[in-house]
């Protein structure tokens, strides 16, 4: 009696093949609620920074560059730790010493512009205009190279004291940051022009960690 042979596998399923070729951002929860993601994969205080756009259901990489993160890398953070916050966060508004033509809401730095980083202040983790705010608040005009082009990383939107403040995506100035993400100025200019309201940034130390968010 003839016995039929078991059907041989024809290889990975179409779904598995798709997953093998999809970028990690396509498999994130964040990718379900936005069409633009800046992915930051840190190695110590340096990082690979890539920009992804969802075009008709396909995530395409349209920018890749080296950059910097906090002097203490990416991870859990708090005020003064010099660690870039791990996780996914909305991006925007943009700000700087000049507007390169962004579609994000934009705010121009003035001589009276501050980012309040004093945890005892009711204005903690917010932009304020004034003559003086207590340390470690940043007088934004003192950093014209870093903040020529910049975008707010919306970490600690509840403004919980001591949880961390003043995290931005901005122009690199040659070394690690105090917790921000920085890339070369020409790449930052491109990013600010490409970003749209609703974009996110995901910070991690590996593709696997980025994929968790």
CATH code for the domain defined by 36-211? 2.40.440.10
Residue 1 has pLDDT above 50, yes or no: no
Write out the two tokens for 81: 């730790």
Tell me the pTM: 0.89
State the pLDDT at residue 28: 96
**CA 170 vs CA 77, 92, 207: distances in Å:** 19, 12, 22
Domain residue ranges in the chain? 36-211
CB proximity list for 123: less than 8 A, separation 6 or greater: 116, 133
The stretch 5-31 carries a mean pLDDT of: 63
Residue listed under structure tokens 């070729």: 21
């Amino acid at each position: 009696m003839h016995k039929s042979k078991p059907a041989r596998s024809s290889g990975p399923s179409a779904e598995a093949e798709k997953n093998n070729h999809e970028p990690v951002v396509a498999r994130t929860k964040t990718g379900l609620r936005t069409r633009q993601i800046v992915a930051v994969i840190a190695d110590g205080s340096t990082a690979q920074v890539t920009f992804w756009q969802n075009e008709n259901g396909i995530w395409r990489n349209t920018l890749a560059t080296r950059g910097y993160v906090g002097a203490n890398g990416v991870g859990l953070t708090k005020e003064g730790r010099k660690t870039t916050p791990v996780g996914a966060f909305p991006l925007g508004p943009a700000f700087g010493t000049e507007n390169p033509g962004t579609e994000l809401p934009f705010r121009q730095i003035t001589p009276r512009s501050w980012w309040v980083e004093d945890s005892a202040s009711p204005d903690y983790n917010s932009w304020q205009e004034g003559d003086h705010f207590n340390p470690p608040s940043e007088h934004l005009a003192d950093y014209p190279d870093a903040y020529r082009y910049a975008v707010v990383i919306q970490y600690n939107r509840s403004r919980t004291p001591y949880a961390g403040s003043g995290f931005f995506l901005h122009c690199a100035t040659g070394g690690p940051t105090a917790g921000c993400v920085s890339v070369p100025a020409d790449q930052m200019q491109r990013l600010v022009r490409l970003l749209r309201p609703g974009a996110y940034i995901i910070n991690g130390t590996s593709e696997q960690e980025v994929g968790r968010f």
